[in-house]
Structure 1
Amino acid sequence: MIRCQGVTKSYGEHATIGPIDLEIPTGGVTALVGPNGAGKSTLLTMIGRLLPLDAGTIEVCGHDVRATPSRKLAHVLSILRQENHISTRLTVRQLVGFGRFPHSQGRLTARDQQAVSDAIDFLDLAALEGRYLDELSGGQRQRAYVAMVLAQETEVLLLDEPLNNLDMQHSVAMMKQLDAAARELGRTVVIVLHDINFAARYADRICAMKDGRVVEYGPSAEIMRADVLTRVFDTDVQVIDGPDGPLAVYY
């Protein structure tokens, strides 16, 4: 479980996140959605301790993220930010191997190598594992980064807009793979998404943010209502019945 209590972050007089009180249960996929500047990425990075809180507490699987030693926390949660810039020339397998650092401190054992192979296979990257990152498309690199955090084998996966640089086909494949990580591997996946329909289709819960606050939170079907989405996104949204559930249509 992820528990946020009274969490705030201030960037100045007119830019404040929170206070946020939120509980994300163990398992499944939770999508953070909302307009630009709503605070989605900021909340995710605070949960992942990449950004300090100004007030409040965040616990992940019972661990206070501010007080828990980094190496111990890295066995509990892994995070993928939007900005993935590694200047060193690496192969896909070498990059995914970085996910094992909390376990091996850089000296990969046979167990680590197996975890790397499992993550590569899970993201369908076996044919690319020997290729260098700068030889790949943006979408292929994005899948490699997701494989890296998956190889960390943590209970919680935090992903900030992992569909960036992916076309429709690979976006669908990525969401199916993340859903499988939650179902088959027992991970708790928290993901920032811009496309509300991907959230509706693949997330168990949707947390809608606006102006630095959580304004709606609950099962996806409860959030996928025209009145709720219109209020969250400040634009006219209609919700229709699609073949796999509700779909948002913007006018």
Structure 2
Amino acid sequence: MITLTEVHKKYSSEVTIGPVTLEIPTGGITALVGPNGAGKSTMLTMVGRLLGIDSGTIEVAGYDVTSTASKDLAKIVSILRQENHFVTRLTVRQLVAFGRFPHSKGRLTTTDEEIISRSIDFLDLAELEGRYLDQLSGGQRQRAYVAMVLAQDTETVLLDEPLNNLDMKHSVLMMQHLKRAAQELNRTIVIVLHDINFAGHYSDYICAMKHGKVVQFGTPERIMNDEILSEVFETPVQVIDGPNGPLAVYY
């Protein structure tokens, strides 16, 4: 479980996050949604301790992220930020191996190699593991980064807009992979999404944010309704019955 209690972060007199009090359940996918500037990525990076908080507490699996040693926290929670991505002369396997650093400190064991291979296979990258990152398509490269995070083998995985720059096909494939990871690998995945319909279809919980605060939190069945989405996105939204569940239509 991820627990935020009265979390507050102030950038300026105009930009403030919180106070946020929230419990994200263990297991499944929780999507953070909301308009630009709502505080989604900021909250994610605070949970991952890549950004400090001014006040309050954040706990992941009972560990206080502000006081837990980095070497221990790295075995509890992993995070992938969209701006951390880089293209270099690393192969897919070499990149994924970085996920084992908190465990191996650079000296890979047989167990590490097995986990690396398992993560590569899970993201359907086996045929590409010897290829360099700059030889991959955007969708393939994105899968390689997610495989690296999965190889870190943490119960909690934080992903900041992993669908960014992916087309529709690769966005669907990525969400299918993440859904499998949550279900088959028992991961708790918290993901920042811009597309409310991806959140509604693939997530188990939706956290809707606006102006640096949590406006609504609940299952997709609860959040996917006209009134809530229109309030959150400040534009008229109608939720209709689609072939695979509710769909939000903007007009």
Q: Same fold (TM over 0.5)?
A: yes
* 1:196 counterpart residue number: 196
User: What amino acid does structure 1 have at the position aligned with 2:145?
Assistant: Y
Deviation digits for residues 178-225 of structure 1, max 9, x if unmatched? 111111111000000000000000001000000000001011110000
Three-state SS of the structure 1 residue aligned to 2:221 is: helix
User: What amino acid does structure 1 have at the position aligned with 2:202?
Assistant: Y
User: What amino acid does structure 1 have at the position aligned with 2:8?
Assistant: T
* 2:158 counterpart residue number: 158
How far off its partner does 1:140 sit? 1.2
Superposition CA RMSD, Å: 0.8
Three-state SS of the structure 2 residue aligned to 1:164 is: coil
Three-state SS of the structure 2 residue aligned to 1:153 is: coil
Decide whether the 8 Å contact of 2:88 with 2:133 is kept in 1.
Answer: no
* 1:187 counterpart residue number: 187
* 1:127 counterpart residue number: 127
Question: Please, what TM-score do these two structures have when normalized by structure 1?
Answer: 0.98
Q: How does 1:1-251 map to 2 (within 5 A)?
A: 1-86=1-86, 88-251=88-251
Three-state SS of the structure 2 residue aligned to 1:166 is: coil
Structure 2 residue ranges without an equivalent (≥5): none
Stretch of structure 1 that moved more, 27-36 or 168-177:
168-177
How far off its partner does 1:165 sit? 2.1
User: What amino acid does structure 1 have at the position aligned with 2:50?
Assistant: L
Question: Please, what TM-score do these two structures have when normalized by structure 2?
Answer: 0.98
User: What amino acid does structure 1 have at the position aligned with 2:144?
Assistant: A
Decide whether the 8 Å contact of 1:142 with 1:165 is kept in 2.
Answer: no
In the aligned structure 2, how far is the partner of 1:145 from the partner of 1:36? 24
User: What amino acid does structure 1 have at the position aligned with 2:34?
Assistant: G
Three-state SS of the structure 2 residue aligned to 1:112 is: helix
In the aligned structure 1, how far is the partner of 2:117 from the partner of 2:53? 36
User: What amino acid does structure 2 have at the position aligned with 1:139?
Assistant: G
Decide whether the 8 Å contact of 2:87 with 2:133 is kept in 1.
Answer: no
Identity %: 70
Structure 1 residue ranges without an equivalent (≥5): none
Which runs of 4 or more aligned residues in structure 1 lie more than 6 Å from their structure 2 counterparts after TM superposition? none
In the aligned structure 2, how far is the partner of 1:215 from the partner of 1:164? 24
